Amino acid sequence: MRFTLLAAIVMLSQATMAQTTVPINVERAKVNYRLNCQGCHLADGSGLPGVVPTMKGLVGNFLKVPGGRDFLVQVPGSAFSPLSDADLAELLNWILATMSDEHKAPDFEPYTEAEVQRTRRRLLADVAKTREALINSQRATSPHLQ
Ligand code: HEC
């Protein structure tokens, strides 16, 4: 009986871990970023003022407002990239971890292949408008943002 209970606990914790742990292959994420994103976003994610927004030290703030998590997948640079759903999920997790780790909520759940698959298909009708609304919500919750 005790053994069964212990086995059940172990199995349960493994199942939970399998759900929340998405390993990042850092080398692959770096190569995918270099090939698909860096041309616009630059190596460190600082972007081009007025043309490409900076992701460095900021991008994680989108996760704090409703719709922001989806936006990071649906934005054309992500959604229309030639990357597979699994590679895009990994790349976004890597971008968030390397460029804006401090802004992720403590209960942040990494993107998964399944989430990216269903989210990237729902195209944004108006990217600029959606982005502006999300930034306004971020300012409302984090007034220090510019
Ligand atoms: C042709 C230039 C270009 C490329 C290539 C590009 N992006 Fe972007 N990215 C932008 C622009 C411009 C925006 C601002 C939103 C918009 O107008 O699309 C943006 C916004 C974003 C955002 C939301 C951040 C924000 O502040 O709006 C994310 C996340 C993102 N890009 C990820 C990626 C990823 C991942 C790749 C590579 C797979 C990539 N982008 C490739 C130009 C690019």
Q: Is residue 55 part of a domain?
A: yes
Residue to substitute in 78, 83, 95 for testing ligand 1 pocket (most ligand atoms within 8 angstroms of CB): 78
Domain containing 50 — which CATH number? 1.10.760.10
Does ligand 1 come within 6 angstroms of the Cβ of 135?
A: no
The total number of structural domains in the chain stands at 1
Q: Is residue 124 part of a domain?
A: yes
Q: Is residue 11 part of a domain?
A: no
Q: What is the pTM of this model?
A: 0.88
Instruction: Looking at the CA of residue 75, tell me the nearest atom of ligand 1.
Output: 18
Instruction: Determine the structural domain holding residue 42 and report its residue range.
Output: 23-141
State pLDDT tens for residues 15-68.
444 445 678 999 999 999 999 999 999 999 999 999 999 999 999 999 999 999
Predicted local confidence at residue 16, as pLDDT: 45
Q: Is residue 108 part of a domain?
A: yes
Q: Is residue 6 part of a domain?
A: no
DSSP 42-110: -TTS--BTTTB---TTTGGGGGGSTTHHHHHHHSHHHHTSS--HHHHHHHHHHHHHHHSGGGS-TTPPP
Q: Is residue 18 part of a domain?
A: no
Q: Is residue 121 part of a domain?
A: yes
Predicted local confidence at residue 15, as pLDDT: 46
Q: Is residue 2 part of a domain?
A: no
